[in-house]
Amino acid sequence: MKILMAHKFLYESAGAEAYVLRLGEYFRSIGHEVQYFGMEEERNVVGNEWNILTKNIDFHKKSLGSLVYPFKIIYSVEARRKMGRLLRLFKPDIIHLNNINYQLTPSIIYEARKFKIPVVMTAHDYQLICPNHLLYQVTNGVICEKCVKSGFSHCIRNNCIHGSKLRSILGCMESMLYHGLNTYSLIDKIICPSAFLETKFLDKKVFRGKTIVMHNFIQKVEKDQNIQKKDFVLYFGRYSKEKGISTLIEACKRIPEIQFVFAGGGPIEDIVDAAQNSAANIKNVGYQRGEALKKLISEARFTVINSEWYENCPFSVMEAQMYGTPVMGADIGGIPELIQNGKTGLLFQSGNVDEMAEKISALWRNPGLLEEMTNNCLKAEFDTLDVYGGKILDLYRQLINKE
């Protein structure tokens, strides 16, 4: 099978990039031909044999070329033209879109349709229904579904994209254009990594009948049945407002007898550093990866995921359980779909510092329940890459045969 993967970034960066690269690697390993379409970038680790990529759009660099960015991020003539050229040369059986908005733009969907090639898209976030892709007002720190319910102009009113009026105007224009043109109706199937995300997409008529729920895959790990737990609770992930970091810090301070370790980085790392300096039971070890992160997760009594936005399908929840560590998770977005409440972890009301502190303390003081949860986590099963990849290939075949 000839598969074209389209994603704006073609190098290791965040979860969406890991998804694209790992999935493409798997398809190649079992004999399929995979090519990629995205932006030019010296860090790229994949591409296509004709080197047909779009010019890099970096919103953080000012140059003469950046003056035309407002036009390029709404509709990229270059991306559509180059996509057409690549399709003529490669002649894929299927096109798998990922994050394309603002850099590649949905203009490339029209080229796919021109060549009558089936199109699948993985929705890594809420971009298709929310201009800032979060359903969350970062500046005000609140969940927001106004654009879904009553029009995209709310993005402008609340400066939803990076707190910038100009970027919010452009984001609103982009959403209005492609929904007005009914562009997304040209996508054959949209993969939703959580049932929660699917419910939000189904608020828009254009997506009805096109969605399928498939939780993300996680790399297979060797489970250690003899984990040596240590006396700390772990948070690992991004340090940002929507992750509920400030609320978690407040809960930590209320239970000084419990040691908390924070592992990560992000825009509010200074808040975590300040907490470490003011509270003896808070320790910030910074960004961790590889064996160091695996060791931290495995040794923690349990982890806390205190998100205050609609998380989709967070790898951190699955990863913790795969290493035999229960998860105390906020009851929001797709998080509850990944935790067996009372068996592999506990749920609490997102943003409720009283309930969170109470449940953390109660679980900490119940070693019998913790041990039972740890054993349950060691038995937990999530789709590995080969299982997930097999499901994706089945979906591809259905669409190809349908055509």
Structure tokens at 67: 């003056």
Q: How many domains does the chain have?
A: 2
Answer yes or no: do 391 and 368 share one domain.
Answer: no
The lowest-confidence range among 14-18, 268-272, 332-336 is: 14-18
Answer yes or no: do 254 and 152 share one domain.
Answer: no
Task: Give the number of other Cβ atoms within 10 Å of residue 146's Cβ.
Answer: 17
Instruction: State the pLDDT at residue 63.
Output: 42
Q: How confident is the model over 30-47, as a mean pLDDT?
A: 95
* Cα(332)–Cα(334) distance, integer angstroms: 6
- pLDDT bin (cut points 50, 70, 90) of residue 16 is confident
- pLDDT bin (cut points 50, 70, 90) of residue 348 is very high
Q: How far is CA 97 from each of CA 19, 100, 108, 328, rounded to the nearest angstrom? A: 12, 7, 10, 33
The lowest-confidence range among 72-81, 86-95, 311-320, 336-345 is: 72-81
- Asked whether the beta carbons of 154 and 209 are under 8 A apart, the reply is no
Answer yes or no: do 159 and 302 share one domain.
Answer: no
The pTM score is 0.89
* Residue 334, domain CATH: 3.40.50.2000
Q: Is 224 within a domain?
A: no
Q: How confident is the model over 214-238, as a mean pLDDT?
A: 86
Structure tokens at 194: 């959580």
Write the DSSP assignment of 276-308 as a string of letters.
Answer: HHH-TTEEE-----HHHHHHHHHHSSEEEE---
Write the DSSP assignment of 215-247 as a string of letters.
Answer: PPP-------TT----S-EEEEEE-SGGGTHHH
- Asked whether the beta carbons of 283 and 270 are under 8 A apart, the reply is no
Q: Is 225 within a domain?
A: no
- Percent of residues, the chain, with pLDDT higher than 70: 95
Print the domain residue range for 294. Answer: 233-379
Looking at the predicted structure, is the pLDDT value of residue 65 above 50?
no
Answer yes or no: do 175 and 267 share one domain.
Answer: no
Answer yes or no: do 249 and 288 share one domain.
Answer: yes
